[in-house]
Every structure is written in structure tokens, then in C-alpha cells.
Amino acid sequence: MTGAGASRRGSGGTSPARERADRYWCEWALLDAGAGPAAEPGVLVEVSGGLITSVARGTRPPDGAERLRGLTVAGFADAHSHAFHRALRGRTGEDGGSFWTWRERMYEVAGRLDPDSYHRLARGVYAEMALAGITCVGEFHYLHHAPAGTPYSDPNAMGRALIAAAAEAGIRITLLDTCYLAGGLGTDGAYAPLEGIQVRFGDGGAEAWAERAAALRAAGAHARVGAAAHSVRAVPPADLARIARTAREAGWAAAHIHLSEQPAENAACLAAHGCTPAQLLDRTGFLAALRPTLVHATHLTSDDAALVRGTGAGVCLCPTTERDLADGLPELDRLAGAPLSLGSDGHSTVDMFEEARSAEAHERLRTGRRGTLPAHRLLEAVHTGGHAALGWAAAGDPPAGRIAPGARADLVSLAVDGVRMAGFDPRRAADALVWAATAADVRHVMAGGRWIVRDGVHALIPDAAARLDAAIREVAP
């Protein structure tokens, strides 16, 4: 990779005062994964004011248009991120243990962060995302307070650090401000108090959480704020019900919750409440009131899966993290009817191509069958599916995740002239993207009309890797 092209063209297209639109001629473009797997040849895209203003197919490259060689697609939404987990990559593979012993290592990192260091770390992670074609992230954020649980002078200092980090990396963010009240759920039905590092996560109750998070609303055009409850392990039923009652009037952009990630969560919930975690979300009104995005949904019963489908709740799979953490295999065939999104979660990998192919690959390993989700449906999950899950598809919003007139100008231009994509068949472009491409094949990325990656180099943070490296070393175990 070289930086040669980084200055070839400035960051254009964001100012409505420009006289005319920027014009890009795509050798191949997959306009809408939801419509099928094929890419169109010779697509002329005009961009103005952060939006795509016109799309013409089958054109020859006109004068004055920049040529984008290879394959261009819409920007990706990464619907589930814990930015600070990135510091653990390549540092737990010699260890054995379980999800729960891994969590102790993760807490070590959480214990070391403050708003400044988290800002630096998250900026590096979001820059890594940008380099991988991700133009919108959902940050599931629960590291709210200073050590000992003391609020910072700005009680939203951590959340604002994350929102600022996304702005500096040039991507949109939905900050999923997370309610985290209990340290765990015992089989006796008792919720343990927050302990150790966990005291940084807690607001004391659902009302206090909502009150603090409400102050984050006016967060900038690139940011929206959503609500999250960490899990049925960390939020008692009465608080889930309280969030469900108040969140609609609170106007959150989205609602998320971790669900049935580990068998131990199901076992504790059954013992304590006599029902599965999904049933508990149903009983407390959380499902019906919020139609939340259910993250993982790994260990659902068939009744749970039917319940999820029936309420219109979405499912966010995080396959590379689920295999890293030994979570197990979800029954994708039962969940595929629900609105689907994908997340890189713990960032053992930041590569939405890998998430997409792994969702289907894991299902193949589980069932012995190929093709539960064809490639273009998997791609749809990181395009329109992810944006819907993150609250960027509300009434009146410009579409996101498609290359269409009026849509947000989020573009990812990929090389197809490397060895990995050799044999690329544009009639099956989705297939090539999901099963052959990697984040390393991303060449240029535009978010909201602004180029944020050029020739594989972050246009706003050219030394992104070195900065990320330094930020990790500050806090890594």
C-alpha cells in the first residue's frame, strides 16, 4: 500500500455550496445487495452535500469523473463494537480457559482506561474500521465512570470520547449507551452487586442511567444515541421493564441487548426466573416496546427463535468473536427470518467480509448443509441490515447501505486485481465479496461524501496503525 493517492483528491462533496457534484465512474458497482448478487458495469455516481444525487448504469467514463477501478459497493455498518477489546487481539491465544477467564483479561484493560486513553484507543479502532470499509459503527458502551465508580466531572466523558473518536476517524456512530446494574445473576435469582472493575459500569439504577445518557442526545450530525441493556445477567427484570416503559418516549435511535451468549446465562435465568432470557425480555415488555437488536442470540430454544421472529426484533451475529470466545453455534436457519446485522464485537478481527462469510460457514459446520444464507443476503446484513439496526433508517432519513439516488454517499472501492479476487465474476459479485474479499482488499472509502481512505491509507489519520499501536500499549495486559 502506498500513500501516493491520498492527496490526489481532497475531501470533496461535503459542502452544499459546491457548484457541481463530484462524479465517480465505477468500473463495477454492486448497487443494492438486497436486489441480488450481480454488479453493474460502468456506473456513474454523482455526489453532492454528502448524498448520492444520481446513479447511471452502463456508462462509459466521462471526462471529469474520477475512475474507480475494481468493484464499488456501499459502506458497511458494524453493528456491535466494544472498542477497547481490540487491545486483547493476539494476547490471549496462549491461554486456555473459558469465556469467563477471558473476561478477567478484558476487565484488566477496562480498568486502565480513562477518557483520554479511551479516546486514543477508540480513534485507532475506528480508523481500522474505516480502512476495512466500515462507515458506521454501533458502539455498545458501558465503561461509563471513573475507577471506584465515581462519575467524571462530565458524567458522559467516556461516551463523548467515543463520539469524538468516530468523528476523527470519519465514520458515523450510534453510541449504544448501556445500562449495567448488576455483577451477575445467581441461580438463586439474586443479582450480585457490581464488583471490582464493574463498578465503573454502573449508574445505580435504570432511571439514573437514563438521566445521564439523555444528556448525550445532541451529539453531532455523525452521531446518534441508542439505548442498551447489557444482558439479563446485568439488568434485573424490573429495570428491563423500566427501560421498556420509558425508552420509546425517550426517543432512542435504537435499542440493543446481549442475549443468550453463553449457556451459563440461560441456566442462571432459568433457575432464577423460570424462563429463558428471551422469554424474560418478552415478559418485561422489552421485546414488544423496543423491538431491540438481540446481540449473539446463540443459545435460543426453538420457542425463543419463534418469539424473536414474531416480535420483529432483530438479531446481530458476531461470528468471529463468538468463535474466539467459544460461545457456540446459533441456529441461523431459525433466525434468518429476523432482521439481520453483523458486528465485529471484540475485534479479534475487523473485517465485515469475514463476519459475513463466517455466519454462513458456522451454519454449514453445524448443519452439514450449504446455503442457509446466499452471499447477497449476507452482504445485505452489513449494508441495509446494519444501518437499520443502528437507527440510521428512520422515517425521513436518507437510505444507507445502498448506492442509489438520495442515499448517503458511503462508498467502498475494492481492488479485484490481486490474487485473492482473481477470477472475480461480476455476475456473482456478492459471492466474490463474501467468499473471497478481505479487509486488505479495500482501496478507497467514502463516508457521507468525504473520502476517509485513499489507496489503503486513512486520509484523516495517515499514521493510524502507529497511533493504534501506541494506544494499545498504554493499556494492554
Grid cell for residue 181: 446494574
**What crossing angle do the helices spanning 464-475 and 115-131 adopt, rounded to 10°?**
140
Q: Which is nearer to a second copy, 245 or 366 (CB)?
A: 366
With CA atoms as reference, report the closest residue to 186 among 66, 268, 122, 108.
268
Smallest gap, in angstroms, from Cβ of residue 353 to a second copy? 11
- If the CB atoms of residues 371 and 396 are measured against a second copy, the closer one turns out to be 371
Minimum distance, C-beta of residue 390 to a second copy, in the bound complex (Å): 22
Q: Measured between alpha carbons, how far is 46 from 144 in angstroms, rounded to an integer? A: 41
Helix (H) / strand (E) containing 101: helix 99-112
Spatial distance between the Cα atoms of 270 and 213, rounded to a whole number of angstroms: 31
For residues 355 and 319, is the Cβ–Cβ distance under 8 A?
yes
Q: Among the options 85, 119, 273, 296, which is catalytic?
A: 296
Catalytic annotation on 463?
no
Q: Cβ 379 to a second copy, closest distance in Å?
A: 10
Q: 145 or 383: whose CB is closer to a second copy?
A: 383
Residue 87 or 287: the one with the smaller Cβ distance to a second copy is 87
Residues near 245 by beta carbon (within 8 Å), at least 6 away in sequence = 285, 289
> Which one, 57 or 364, has the nearer CB to a second copy?
364
Comparing CB distances to a second copy, the nearer of 44 and 432 is 432
- The minimum distance between CB 108 and a second copy, in angstroms, equals 14
The nearer residue to a second copy, 75 or 399, going by C-beta atoms, is 75
Cell of 149: 465508580
Check residue 151 and report its DSSP letter.
Answer: P
Kindly name the residue from 22, 32, 345, 351 that is annotated as catalytic. Answer: 345
**Of 125, 220, 160, 12, which Cα lies nearest the Cα of 461?**
125
How far, in Å, CA of 341 to CA of 393, rounded? Answer: 13
> Which residue, among 318, 319, 363, 311, has the nearest Cα to 337 in the 3D structure?
311
Query: Rg for the chain (alpha carbons), in Å?
Result: 21
Q: How far is the CB of 354 from a second copy (least distance, A)?
A: 9
Shortest distance (Å) from residue 283 CB to a second copy: 27
Residue whose C-alpha is closest to residue 74's, from 316, 384, 426, 397: 384
What residues are paired with 179 via a beta bridge?
Answer: 229
Distance in angstroms (rounded) separating the CA atoms of residues 129 and 319 = 17
The question of whether 345 is a catalytic residue gets the answer yes
State the minimum distance, in angstroms, from the CB of residue 471 to a second copy: 8
Amino acid letter at 255?
A
Distance of CA 151 to the CA centre of its chain: 27
Q: Would you name the residues annotated as active-site residues?
A: 296, 345
